[in-house]
Structure 1
Amino acid sequence: MIIYKIFRADEWAHLRTQGETLGAPVDLADGYVHFSTAGQAEDTAAKHFAGHDDLMLVAVDTDRLGDDLKWEVSRGDALFPHLYRALRLGDVVWAQPLPLKDGTHRFPAGYAEAEG
């Protein structure tokens, strides 16, 4: 299954240069890296990244994360994927810009179909 992490440009640059990251400030505060499923990602972008246009949508295959990935109840009593270790660049399947147009983030064509 593919899950998604939304990074600001500096957070994405950190992952690319350092090879791993513990995530954004909210991830550091909570003690895990927050992810969303394809069905949750657009709401996550709207709720937590409104007005930001320097974003990257990063796709990660859950098979690469092993037992460090936990599914836990969060927003709206839905299960969200949380990673209890550093996210490694090698965990990333692909990354695409998540531009803002007319106040809405434009997700890459077909991103949800690749969830598999």
Structure 2
Amino acid sequence: MTDRIVYKILTPDEYDALTRAGSFSGSSADIVDGFIHLSAAGQVAGTLDKHFSMKSGLVLVAVDLSLLDPAVVRWEPSRGGQLFPHLYASLPIGAVVATAPVARTADGGVSLPV
């Protein structure tokens, strides 16, 4: 894949943990799976619908993959065979290039921070 900017959806508590600690080790689902789930721009709305439909106050962080060690990022098949970015390390705050509250667009998409 060639997407340089990918996204992580965080709950308010997870976002606070990222900003306090300077890195994020993953949600409970990430920890169980052994990697941090990320989404390309075109995958964010589907991820929200599937995994976060009942949550509020979510924060979308934009992650610049060029600021991470390429050895810890893998694009792997997931939902419907799509390739999703997976981070096999903690997410350092230095790789986060923008943040915004999760907001839907009129067409059902998601307003991306970058």
TM over 0.5: yes
Deviation at 1:107, TM superposition (A): 2.7
Deviation at 1:67, TM superposition (A): 1.7
Deviation at 1:106, TM superposition (A): 6.8
The aligned residue for residue 48 of structure 1 is 51
After superposition, the CA RMSD in angstroms is 2.1
1:74 equivalenced with 2:65 (yes/no): no
Secondary structure of 1:93's counterpart equals: strand
1: distance between equivalents of 2:26 and 2:14? 7
Query: Which has the larger share of strand?
Result: 1
Q: Percent identity?
A: 41
The aligned residue for residue 13 of structure 1 is 16
The superposition leaves residues 46-74 of structure 1 with CA deviations (integer Å, 9 ceiling, x where unpaired) of 11000211100000011112221001011
Name structure 1 gaps, 5 residues minimum.
Answer: none
TM-score, scaled to structure 2: 0.87
Name structure 2 gaps, 5 residues minimum.
Answer: none
| 8 Å contact kept, 2:75–2:84 | yes
1: distance between equivalents of 2:77 and 2:56? 28
Which consecutive segments of 4 or more residues in structure 1 shift more than 2 A?
105-108
The aligned residue for residue 28 of structure 2 is 25
Secondary structure of 1:16's counterpart equals: helix
| 8 Å contact kept, 1:53–1:99 | no
